[in-house]
Amino acid sequence: MARKSFDLVQNEHSIPARYIQVLLMFTAILLVFYQRVNLSVAIVALNSLDETTTTNASQPKFNYSGLTPHQRSSILGSIFWGTFSVQLLSGYLGSHYGTVKLLFGCVLGSSLISIGLPFALIYFGFEAFVALRVVQGCAQGIVFPAVYAHLAKWSPLKERSLLGGISQSGMDMGMALGFLCSGLLAVTALGWRAIFYVPGLVGILWSVFWLIFAAESPQKCRYIAQQELTLLAEITVVAPTEKRKARIPWCAILTSAPYLVLVLVKLSHGLSIFTLMQQIPLYINGLYDYEIHVNALLSALPFFLMFVTSHLVTFTAHYLLVVRKCSLALVRKSLNTVSTWVPAAAFVAMTLIRSEEQVTANIICLIVAVMTYAAAAVGSSLNHIDLSPNFGGMLVGMTNMVMTGMGVISPIAVAEVVKDENDRSQWNIIFLIIAALLFLGNLLYLFFGKMVAQPWDEIEAPAERSTTNNVESMETAVFRTNKK
């Protein structure tokens, strides 16, 4: 019998609908981070343009090598200005108004802007390029709050670490492909412009698949099997319509020790990964001056290994939780320790390398610092949903506002400290600051981190709240009467 519509899960050999949603989220994050890091390689390509090429109509109007350190930091940090500015709003929208339209707008908007970036740089100059990157950051800022809110509706508790880890690994693969492919595209006929055109076109194609296969919830999915629908019925996430009626417990959230500690952990993670994401190509270029395709390969290698590590960590966590019955707190805190204290040790080791000839040792330290960060997805990122399944998307938005703020601060700090990109001692100051924050954040997480839903996550329906208030008023009245 011919299969109609999108009935992909009518038998036991078909793909479950929740796996399709995870694949879509994985690729959404991949594309966003590809488009976020490709500028780090494009800058190296722009830096190699000499005065004869910059007079060509197809080349930018400005000479990158002539920019001040703060102007360079503006280019690198511009996308994070936009991402930072929309975190609270996107977290609120993701928790209250659904996620399908938000993720569609996120990837499609970022992709269209990516295609327009070379035109802005060629015809309008440096300022227009920076402004457009800020707008692109606004579009990209939606991705994580929307993904976490979507994940909360599609991942059973026993599979949350597995499915969440897989979707989060899109960040690792996005950065790896962003570095590698950008370096290869830079030597094509289109040159540096291809670095922006290609991911933009791929993002538009992704948007078509998202509209076809994305579903706001299991109950609204057109191709889900009844057995899987029954499995996902255990997820107790309140519908967006009810959340809009509920009061957000702002005071409880902002005074919650487990959440505040989580924010500090993600702050240290943000400073670490965004510094590496933005500065690795410039760091390698400053110390070793490799050709751009070699630089791109070395920059991408740690992130490819991080992608592999993230899947090893994800399946290991799933095995420990489901098969070995380890406690969620033990698994979360152990993996977060790997994602913080191991990179901290690697950064300290990098500062002890004195000789410029010790290239291998330096690259190994970079690889260790990046690949062990992969444990952060399961170790602490998914902790937002642990603390609050109902407000998980909003919590991620609040945390990401702080985390992406590090993406703005990092290039400014580097510009202040690293006056000479060829001076290793100046880079070492940055690495030691990051190491100290990573150590402190995880130390507090070990003592104060929690992996259970907090009391403020509960949402009462308006009728229940009214009834509760009436009962409390009656009890208060009786108490006062008796007291009299």
Residue range 84-113, pLDDT digits in tens: 888 778 767 766 677 898 999 999 999 999
pLDDT in tens, 142-188: 888 888 888 888 988 788 888 888 898 899 899 999 999 998 998 88
pLDDT in tens, 413-450: 988 898 888 888 899 999 999 999 999 999 999 999 99
Across 20-29, 60-69, 272-281, 456-465, which has the greatest mean pLDDT? 20-29
- The model's confidence at residue 231, banded by pLDDT at 50, 70 and 90, is confident
What is the pLDDT at residue 16?
Answer: 92
Tokens of 380: 């602490």
Give the residue from 321, 266, 274 showing the smallest Cα distance to 445.
266
Average pLDDT over residues 66-90: 81
Instruction: Tell me, letter by letter, the H, E, C secondary structure of the chain.
Output: CCCCCCCCCCCCCCCCHHHHHHHHHHHHHHHHHHHHHHHHHHHHHHHCCCHHHHCCCCCCCCCHHHCCHHHHHHHHHHHHHHHHHCHHHHHHHHHHCCCHHHHHHHHHHHHHHHHHHHHHHHHCCHHHHHHHHHHHHHHHCCHHHHHHHHHHHHCCHHHHHHHHHHHHHHHHHHHHHHHHHHHHHCCCCCHHHHHHHHHHHHHHHHHHHHHHHCCCCHHHCCCCCHHHHHHHCCCCCCCHHHHHHCCCCHHHHHCCHHHHHHHHHHHHHHHHHHHHHHHHHHHHHHHHCCCHHHHHHHHHHHHHHHHHHHHHHHHHHHHHHHHCCCCHHHHHHHHHHHHHHHHHHHHHHHHHCCCCCCHHHHHHHHHHHHHHHHHHHHHHHCHHHHHCCCCHHHHHHHHHHHHHHHHHHHHHHHHHHCCCCCCHHHHHHHHHHHHHHHHHHHHHHHHHCCCCCCHHHCCCCHHHHHHHHHHHHHHHHHHHHHHC
Rounded Cα distance between 396 and 374, Å, is 18
- The model's confidence at residue 56, banded by pLDDT at 50, 70 and 90, is low
More reliable by pLDDT, 9 or 159: 159
Average pLDDT over residues 49-53: 47
More reliable by pLDDT, 216 or 463: 216
Rounded Cα distance between 267 and 279, Å, is 18
pLDDT in tens, 185-209: 988 888 889 999 999 999 999 999 9
More reliable by pLDDT, 67 or 327: 327
Average pLDDT over residues 33-43: 90
More reliable by pLDDT, 215 or 239: 215
| For the chain, percent of residues with pLDDT exceeding 70 | 84
pTM comes to 0.77
Rounded Cα distance between 179 and 278, Å, is 10
Rounded Cα distance between 126 and 62, Å, is 7
Is the pLDDT at 254 greater than 60, yes or no? yes
More reliable by pLDDT, 286 or 180: 180
Which sign does the torsion angle of CA 258, 380, 266, 133 carry? negative
> What average pLDDT does the structure give for the chain?
84
pLDDT in tens, 344-356: 999 999 999 876 6
- The model's confidence at residue 466, banded by pLDDT at 50, 70 and 90, is very low
- The model's confidence at residue 10, banded by pLDDT at 50, 70 and 90, is very low
- The model's confidence at residue 58, banded by pLDDT at 50, 70 and 90, is low
- The model's confidence at residue 407, banded by pLDDT at 50, 70 and 90, is confident
Average pLDDT over residues 386-404: 86
What is the pLDDT at residue 60?
Answer: 60
Tokens of 423: 């001076």
Q: Residue 86 in contact with residue 193, Cβ under 8 Å? A: no
Average pLDDT over residues 360-375: 91
Instruction: Tell me, letter by letter, the H, E, C secondary structure of 22-43.
Output: HHHHHHHHHHHHHHHHHHHHHH
What is the pLDDT at residue 132?
Answer: 96
Q: Where do the domains of the chain lie, and which CATH numbers do they carry?
A: 17-236+249-457 (1.20.1250.20)
Is the pLDDT at 336 greater than 60, yes or no? yes
pLDDT in tens, 256-281: 999 999 999 999 999 999 998 888 88
Across 58-62, 253-257, 382-386, which has the greatest mean pLDDT? 253-257
Q: Residue 372 in contact with residue 342, Cβ under 8 Å? A: yes
Tokens of 54: 């910059």
Give the residue from 407, 402, 405, 418 showing the smallest Cα distance to 77.
407
